[in-house]
Amino acid sequence: MNDDDVRAKVVAIIRSIAPEVEEGELTSSRPLRDQVDLDSMDWLKVIIGVHEKLHVDIPEADYGKLRTLDDWVAYLRAKLA
């Protein structure tokens, strides 16, 4: 799975929780929670969605590493490699 595929999957998961989000409006290097109105429960749903769709376990200790879309892509690429 390449970076574009990973990015598309993460965006699809976010859109399943916040359907008003347009992929083209997301800036890869800006914190997602600043761009998308996600409360802590919604953010947890994103993490659970990634786990369910991509079968990647994300320990709670890593949650803080996943701020931007770039962070998600790099993290997941490493886990999926």
Number of H helices, E strands in the chain: 4, 0
Instruction: List, for residues 20-79, the tens digit of each pLDDT value.
Output: 988 888 999 999 988 998 899 999 999 999 999 999 999 999 999 999 999 999 999 999
Residues in the chain: 81
Query: What count of other Cβ atoms lies within 10 Å of the Cβ of residue 75?
Result: 18
For the chain, domain boundaries: 3-80
- Reported CATH class of domain 3-80: mainly alpha
Amino acid at 79: K
pLDDT at 25: 87
Backbone angles phi, psi at 64, to 5 degrees: -65, -20
